[in-house]
């Protein structure tokens, strides 16, 4: 009697007293027969008997076995793809193949139903295009599970890298009044009634009546503010959202993206390049170490996809091999001028296969040229430096005019295979007169940037920094090909649904 009661009591309290465990932890359990409680979402329910359950803690699904003969049919009907359930049961060695352990359920509770006629995710392969249309649900797929775990790891690794080196994380403003950075079209920020904007006598909008008393925009870069902080802390970085109102419709542009911008006092361009290369290698190796399961999945996904491509278009290395290769090799460093020489003598240029032929010095490099250098000629990441001054921003440090009268600046772009420009940076022009000369030539109003120029007036020092497009990094590491698939809710022209 006593024993019976104990057993009975034990069963009674099963669903209230047993603490819910993450599936990731259940897989680590070694004691067969141990009672566990898990909660998650049903991926598939096979044979009226086998639930593939996922709670997001790991990629692998836990197999929960239902004793269908002794389970109410109305409950079985509610175990559908997408439903949230709680399951209590014993850990047992799996009789089937495909998993070593499974949970033999003694109790199943439906936490949230999922109407199978309406739930759009099916236990089958979906196109990324379709999943983009249901961005609110696509996290529940294997691919996006993996992508966003890797994204998280990379973000964490970025902070770890800089923190370990004594950098200060600066939060630069999202709303900015300066319209002079020249990094692209900006989104306007206003509280004015757009139907009745106050006007000045000359008919232009009177922004003095706006919230900030002046015209404001969303930031296109935290660099200028970052430089101010670097002139006190020595080394800082920013990591925040950045906005560009360009009408860009490509696989590598977003209207809202996350950018990492370190800025370091007393650094020259060489130091800057080394920092960027070290950082990229650090975060990639962090992902390789901490996202094995996810990267292996993405690696396999990519191999599957490659099977459908013609031989020519297939990549030479699988994803994980590509990442390892990237870690094991120094990035190639060369000047713009050297790159032009290589391109001018290249086969596609000689055979006139480039759409834009390289004829002389001074033109900006097109995508096809960057791709040739990175993917065909060097076959590894490339850092291009010392671009013509005319095609680069005003704040970049000017080199002395060379023997042929060419004006260059201490710029550097890091080009990655398949991605293109992943980092853009430079040593900054710290000499006030050279900087203001350049601003005049480029029609950038000095009055608006008086605070920026103050850094050159009071204790100016050599310094350098760069901007890293975080989503482009995630693209490279996950092997995804469209930037809209590596950010949760992508913003791009005609799209801000979620």
Partner RNA sequence: UCCUGAGUAGCUCAGCCGGUUAGAGCAUCUGACUGUUAAUCAGAGGGUCGCUGGUUCGAGCCCAGCCUCAGGAGCCA
- CA 187, CA 116: separation in Å to the nearest integer? 41
For the chain, the maximum distance between any two Cα atoms, rounded to a whole number of angstroms, is 102
Residue 77 beta carbon to RNA: minimum distance, rounded to whole angstroms: 7
Contact status, residue 430 vs residue 454, Cβ threshold 8 Å = no
Which CB, 207 or 284, lies closer to RNA?
284
Residue 255 beta carbon to RNA: minimum distance, rounded to whole angstroms: 7
Residue 260 beta carbon to RNA: minimum distance, rounded to whole angstroms: 9
- CA 383, CA 332: separation in Å to the nearest integer? 6
- Whose tokens are 């490659």? That residue is 306
Contact status, residue 89 vs residue 105, Cβ threshold 8 Å = yes
Which CB, 79 or 229, lies closer to RNA?
79
Residue 3 beta carbon to RNA: minimum distance, rounded to whole angstroms: 27
**Cα–Cα nearest to 45, from 114, 120, 93:** 114
Which CB, 196 or 313, lies closer to RNA?
313
- CA 462, CA 469: separation in Å to the nearest integer? 24
Q: Are strands 84-93 and 35-46 parallel, antiparallel or unpaired?
A: antiparallel
Contact status, residue 391 vs residue 364, Cβ threshold 8 Å = yes
**Cα–Cα nearest to 320, from 302, 332, 305, 308:** 302
Residue 132 beta carbon to RNA: minimum distance, rounded to whole angstroms: 5
Please report, as ranges, the residues that interact with RNA according to CB under 7 A. Answer: 44, 46-50, 52, 63, 65, 68, 80-81, 94-99, 102, 104, 116-117, 120, 122-127, 129-130, 132, 183-184, 221, 244, 246-255, 257, 259, 364, 366-368, 371, 420-424, 467-469, 471-472, 481-484, 493-495
Which CB, 210 or 429, lies closer to RNA?
429
Residue 487 beta carbon to RNA: minimum distance, rounded to whole angstroms: 9
- CA 79, CA 116: separation in Å to the nearest integer? 10
**Cα–Cα nearest to 170, from 235, 107, 115:** 235
Residue 290 beta carbon to RNA: minimum distance, rounded to whole angstroms: 24
Q: What angle do CA 284, 287, 289 make, to 5 degrees?
A: 110
- CA 330, CA 263: separation in Å to the nearest integer? 22
Which CB, 125 or 292, lies closer to RNA?
125
Which CB, 45 or 267, lies closer to RNA?
45
- CA 444, CA 436: separation in Å to the nearest integer? 9
Which CB, 436 or 481, lies closer to RNA?
481
Dig out the tokens for 316 from the structure.
């030479």
Which CB, 47 or 204, lies closer to RNA?
47
- CA 278, CA 264: separation in Å to the nearest integer? 15
Which CB, 274 or 482, lies closer to RNA?
482
Residue 221 beta carbon to RNA: minimum distance, rounded to whole angstroms: 7
Residue 484 beta carbon to RNA: minimum distance, rounded to whole angstroms: 6
């Amino acid at each position: 009697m006593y024993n019976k009661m104990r057993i009975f009591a034990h069963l009674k309290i099963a669903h209230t007293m047993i603490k819910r465990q993450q599936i990731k932890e259940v897989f680590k359990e070694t004691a067969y027969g141990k009672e566990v409680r898990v909660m998650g979402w049903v991926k598939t329910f096979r044979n009226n008997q086998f639930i593939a359950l996922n709670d997001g803690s790991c990629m692998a699904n836990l197999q929960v076995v239902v004793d269908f003969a002794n389970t109410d049919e109305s409950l079985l009907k509610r175990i559908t793809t997408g439903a949230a359930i709680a399951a209590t049961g014993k850990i047992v060695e799996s009789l089937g193949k495909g998993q070593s352990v499974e949970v033999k359920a003694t109790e199943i509770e439906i936490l949230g139903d999922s109407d199978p006629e309406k739930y759009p995710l099916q236990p089958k392969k979906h196109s990324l295009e379709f999943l983009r249309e249901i961005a609110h649900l696509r996290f529940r797929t294997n691919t996006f599970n993996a992508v966003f775990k890797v994204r998280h790891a990379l973000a964490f690794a970025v902070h770890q890298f800089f923190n370990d080196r004594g950098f200060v994380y600066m939060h630069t403003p999202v709303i900015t009044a300066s319209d002079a950075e020249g990094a692209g079209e900006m989104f306007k920020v206003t509280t004015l009634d757009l139907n009745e904007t106050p006007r000045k006598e000359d008919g232009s909008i009177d922004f003095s009546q706006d919230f900030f008393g002046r015209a404001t925009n969303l930031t296109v870069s935290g660099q200028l503010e970052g430089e101010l902080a670097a002139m006190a802390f020595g080394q800082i970085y920013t990591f925040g959202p950045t906005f560009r109102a360009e009408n860009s419709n490509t696989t590598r542009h977003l209207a809202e993206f996350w950018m990492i911008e370190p800025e370091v006092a007393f650094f020259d361009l060489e130091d800057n390049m080394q920092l960027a290369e070290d950082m990229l290698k650090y975060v990639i190796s962090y992902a390789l170490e901490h996202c094995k399961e996810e990267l292996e999945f993405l690696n396999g996904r990519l191999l599957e996809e490659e099977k459908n491509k013609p031989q020519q278009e297939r990549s030479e290395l699988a994803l994980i091999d590509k990442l390892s290769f990237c870690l094991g090799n120094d990035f190639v460093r060369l000047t713009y001028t050297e790159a032009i020489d290589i391109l001018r003598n290249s086969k596609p240029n000689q055979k006139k296969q480039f759409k834009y032929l390289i004829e002389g010095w001074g033109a900006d490099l097109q995508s096809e040229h960057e791709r040739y250098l990175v993917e065909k000629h060097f076959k590894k990441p490339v850092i291009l430096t010392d671009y013509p001054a005319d095609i680069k921003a005003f704040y970049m440090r000017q080199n002395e005019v060379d023997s042929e009268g060419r004006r260059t600046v201490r710029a550097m772009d890091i080009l990655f295979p398949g991605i293109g420009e992943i980092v853009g940076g430079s040593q900054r022009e710290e000499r006030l007169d050279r900087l203001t000369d350049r601003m005049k030539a480029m029609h950038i109003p000095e009055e608006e940037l008086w605070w920026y120029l103050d850094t050159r007036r009071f204790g100016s020092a050599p310094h350098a920094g760069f901007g890293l497009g975080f989503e482009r990094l995630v693209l490279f590491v996950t092997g995804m090909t469209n930037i809209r698939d590596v950010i949760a809710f992508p913003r791009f022209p005609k799209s801000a649904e979620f």
